Amino acid sequence: MIIRHIPLIALAALGVTGCQRTVASHLPTDDAAYTAIAVTPEIARPSTYTLRPGDRIDVNVFKEAEFSASKMLVDQSGNVTLPLIGTMRAEGMSADDFARAVESKLAATYLRSPRVSVLIDTPALASISVEGEVKQPGVYEVAPGSTLLTAMALARSPSDVAKLDEVMIFRTVNGERFGGRFDLAAIRAGRVPDPQILPGDSIVVGYSQARGMFQDFLKTTPLLNVLVRY
């Protein structure tokens, strides 16, 4: 005998997704999205490297070994703690600018006419963050020339409930935040370009309520198969 109320059970199972997470994005799409995160030569290859968290630097004070230091870390707050001098802001400064700042600090406190040079010993890893509906969210190191498809591969592809036409890239340039919304299915099919990503970008993959409902429905089918006949 077939139970006639099975469709109601299925609808009830689907209805639990009504409170699931969704992404309401007002970012530009299509050509405007590519324009919003356009990679100019100046952005891709800045003429002057600026210090950032994770860099390790050598600070050499001419003929003053006690003030010199090697492999000093720019911490996550963007600061460097130097021997005797203390903590100084370094993030966003070029190596030469930071050297001049150290000279000013030393001249005001310890030395007359100090001469300082700063060299980058080990640059910070170039990384991006990927979150949202991907199989393995996280922070990943990227090589120059990486693209959105690269990022998806690093995060082990979108999940089964990802909204493929709501993949967002956020980028900060000179302290200003930009972003665009992209259609991953169209990119995979070659209908639109695969946008380049840069170190520091954040990528968020949206949630598809329709896909989520379908996945929830599939999870209920073993139960429905038990209830259909007796």
pLDDT tens digits for range 220-230: 655 445 444 44
Strand partners of residue 87? 81
Position 32 pLDDT exceeds 90: no
Residue 11: CB atoms within 10 A of its CB come to 10
What pLDDT digit, counting tens, does each position of 5-16 carry?
444 444 444 444
Mean pLDDT score, 21-44 = 72
Torsion of CA 58, 171, 128, 95, to 10 degrees: -10
- Kindly state the greatest CA–CA separation across the chain: 98
Res 187: pLDDT: 95
H/E stretch holding 225 reads helix 209-228
pTM over 0.85: no
Specify the DSSP class assigned to residue 37.
T
- Structure-token pair, residue 108: 């005001």
Q: Which domains does the chain have, with CATH numbers?
A: 6-44+125-226 (3.10.560.10), 56-122 (3.30.1950.10)
C-alpha pair distances (Å), 6 with each of 17, 40, 63, 105, 214:
18, 58, 86, 77, 16
Q: Give the integer Cα–Cα distance in Å for 200 and 210.
A: 31
Nearest to 25 by CA among 148, 204, 191: 204
Residue matched to tokens 């038990």: 226
Predicted confidence at residue 13, as pLDDT, reads 45
SS3 assignment, position 61? strand
Contact 56, 122 (CB under 8 A): yes
Residue 17 DSSP symbol: G
Whole-number pLDDT of residue 17 = 45
Q: Is pLDDT at 29 greater than 70 in this prediction?
A: yes
